[in-house]
Structure 1
C-alpha cells in the first residue's frame, strides 16, 4: 500500500500522463481552524448547491443601508446644485437688467452759462460771458422745446423708408422712446436730436448735431464742419408720403396723428457771433417762434376737402391727397458751441446753454423773494445775457 509516488518519481512522470490524486482523509480535522461564527455556515462536503450562499441577516442590512444613504446624499446634492444654478440665473438676470445701455448719456449736454453783473475784487468786469465769444464760438438758435434724444439707425435688408430701421433713444438711460420705425436716414447713423413736444401732430424730429453718418465717425470733426455736413446730408434725403393715421379709430375722419417722426428738421446755426449780430439778430430770433412746413394727408371729414373726395384711383392704386400745414415750434433758448471743439458725450464745458426762461428750485425762489426780487417768475437768463 502506497500513498502515491515519491518526489523523485513525480519528477520523472510526464505531466500529460499524470493522474489526479485522491485524498482519502476527511475535512473534520480542519473544522477547528474555522471561526466560531462561520462553523454553522459551512456545508457538508458531499452537499452541492449551485445557488450562491446567502449572507447573514446582519450583513445584508449593513450592505443595504449604505446604498440608501448614498442615494439620499446624491439626491440632496442634485437639489443643492439645482438651487445654486437657479440662484446664479436669478442673479445673472438681475445684473443684466441693471446694466446700463451703451447709448446712455451719449449726447453732448451743455452746461448752463452762469452770468452775473458786477466787478470782481480787482475792479474788472466779470459777467460770465466768454471773452472770445465773437471769434471762438458758434451759435445754435432757436433751440426748440422738446425731449433730448438720440436717433440711431441700423442695417436692414429691406427698402429704405419701408422697413423699420430707426430707433429713438432717451438721453440719460438710452432706452427706446418708441418702437423702431422706417425712415430715409442711411444705416449706421447716429444723430443728436430733440423730439418735438407736439411730434404726434407735426411729425418733427429736430436734428441738433451729427455723431456718425453712414458708418463714418464725425465726432472728432470741428463744430462748423459737423453742422455743415448735417445740413448738406439732410437736404439730400428723399421724401416719402405720410404713414397711416395713428389717431384713435373714432377720430380718423377728423384728426391725423403721426405714428413716428417723418420730418428731420435741422436746428439753424450761425457762425457770426459778433456782439452787434447778437443784439440785432440772434437774441430776437431766440425769442421768436419758428415755423416749419409739414405735409399731412387730407382727411375725409376735413373742411378743406372739395367734392371730389380724398383719394382717386389710378390703375388700382389709391393716391392720397396731401396738404401743407405750418407747424409752430416754440423756442427754448440758445446754445453756444466752441468752434474748434469736437463732439464730447456727456455734460461738456465745450457748449453753453442760455435758456429763454429761468430754471429755479423752490428754495432758490424763496431766497430771491427774501432778497427783494420780483415775486413772480425769475428773470430770464437771455435778458441777463443781452445786458
Structure 2
C-alpha cells in the first residue's frame, strides 16, 4: 500500500511509521505507554493531595532572602565613550512559534493487512477490545474550537482549524457549541449546501478535558452532549456565490459519526462493513431563496424547505477501546478506506479491490476458521 500523505487517515507527510516494527508491536507499546503515563499522573495527584494537607508552619510567611550579587555579574562602569565593558550577546533569531492547534488531531495508521503472509494483520483482540466508527464521511479533517467566553447575543466564538498547520479554514462564526470546547471533526464535502460538520471525537467539552478517557466513553459523551444541543436555524445570511441558491456561510449542523461497540466478526461482516460503504441520507432545513430580492434580504425570515443531504462514505476507523486520545500519529487507531489512494478520484467503483474489500475477505476467512474449529 502507498506510503503517501493519504496512506493514513489524513496524516501530514512528515509523519512516517517505523517499518522495522510490526503494527501490533507498536500498538502494544503505545498502549503500555499510555497506561504508564496515566498511572504516573494518578500517583502525582495523590502526592499533591498529601502535600496539600501538610502544615509548613511560619516559614511560609518569611520573606525570601535576596541572592548575593556576584562580582562577575555586577554591571561594569561605563567607559569614556559611554559603552559598557560587558560583552553584548547577539540575540539569535527565534524560529516562528508553532501554532498551538497544529497537529493536534489523532492520526490513525492505515491498517496493515496481508492475504498471503502467515499473519493477516488484523488485531487478535478485534472482537473484544475495539470500537468501530463507520461510515466515515468524505470531507476535510479539522478541529472545531470555541472561545472561553461566548458573550451575549450572536458572538463569533467558533473557529475551524486545519489539521496540519492549525490555521483558520474560514472566519470565526457563531455556533451552538458550548464555550471552551475542542472537537475533532470532518467538514463535509458539500457543507455549503447542507451546513454539516461531522464530529468524530471530543478533546474538550465546556473546559473539561476528555482526552484521557477511553474510546467508548468519549464516543458516548460525544453523542450525549451533541443530542443535548438546541436546534439552531440556518444563518440568515447566505454565502455569496453569485447565485440565487442559498449557500451556508459556515457550518451550523453538528452530527456525530456513528460508532459501534459490537465488533464481533458477524457484526463486522453483516453490519459495520456494509455501513462503511453506504451513503447516508440526512434531512436538513434550508432557507428557500428563489428570487434575487430574497437572496438580498439578510435580516428577513424566509420560508424553510427540507432537503436531503447525501453523505458519501470514505471507509471505517477502528479504535482500541482502552486507548485515550493522543495527538499525532498513533497505532491505537486504524484506518480502512474504501479505495486505494493511488487513485486521484475518490469516487471510484466500490467493487474495486480497495482496503475495505481486503478487510472484508480477511474477516470472512476468520469466520471460516472459527467454524471449522467448532466442527472439529
**Contact persistence 1:244–1:259 (CA under 8 A):** no
Q: Name stretches of at least 5 consecutive residues in structure 2 with no aligned partner.
A: 1-80, 345-350, 362-376
Counterpart for residue 380 of structure 1? 354
Counterpart for residue 269 of structure 2? 279
Q: Which has the higher contact order (CA 8 A, sep 6+)?
A: 2
Give the Cα–Cα distance (whole angstroms) in 1 for the partners of residues 343 and 240 of structure 2: 38
Counterpart for residue 148 of structure 2? 155
Q: Name stretches of at least 5 consecutive residues in structure 1 with no aligned partner.
A: 1-72, 78-83, 121-125, 303-308, 312-316, 363-376
Shift of 1:378: 6.7
Give the Cα–Cα distance (whole angstroms) in 1 for the partners of residues 352 and 282 of structure 2: 30
Q: 1:48-87 maps to which residues of 2 (within 5 A)?
A: none
Query: After alignment, is 233-242 or 217-226 more displaced?
Result: 233-242
Give the Cα–Cα distance (whole angstroms) in 1 for the partners of residues 231 and 163 of structure 2: 27
Q: 1:148-297 maps to which residues of 2 (within 5 A)?
A: 148-156=141-149, 158-159=151-152, 162-248=154-240, 250-251=242-243, 254-297=244-287
Query: After alignment, is 280-289 or 207-216 more displaced?
Result: 280-289
Shift of 1:249: 6.9
SS at match of 1:320: coil
Counterpart for residue 114 of structure 1? 112
Give the Cα–Cα distance (whole angstroms) in 2 for the partners of residues 280 and 249 of structure 1: 43
Deviations 1:229-273 (A, max 9, x none): 10110011112221134343742xx31111110000100000110
Q: TM-score scaled to structure 1, two decimals?
A: 0.65
**Contact persistence 2:150–2:179 (CA under 8 A):** no
Q: TM-score scaled to structure 2, two decimals?
A: 0.66
Shift of 1:151: 0.5
Deviations 1:298-321 (A, max 9, x none): 11339xxxxxx979xxxxx94321
**Contact persistence 1:196–1:205 (CA under 8 A):** yes
**Contact persistence 2:215–2:319 (CA under 8 A):** yes
Give the Cα–Cα distance (whole angstroms) in 1 for the partners of residues 343 and 288 of structure 2: 45
Give the Cα–Cα distance (whole angstroms) in 1 for the partners of residues 267 and 181 of structure 2: 34
**Contact persistence 2:289–2:302 (CA under 8 A):** no
Counterpart for residue 47 of structure 2? none
Shift of 1:336: 0.3
1:299 aligns with 2:299: no
For the pair shown, which has the larger CA radius of gyration, 1 or 2?
A: 1
Counterpart for residue 66 of structure 1? none
Structure 1 vs Structure 2 CA RMSD = 2.9
Give the Cα–Cα distance (whole angstroms) in 2 for the partners of residues 249 and 135 of structure 1: 49
Counterpart for residue 342 of structure 1? 324
Counterpart for residue 319 of structure 1? 301
**Contact persistence 1:310–1:321 (CA under 8 A):** no
**Contact persistence 1:145–1:197 (CA under 8 A):** yes
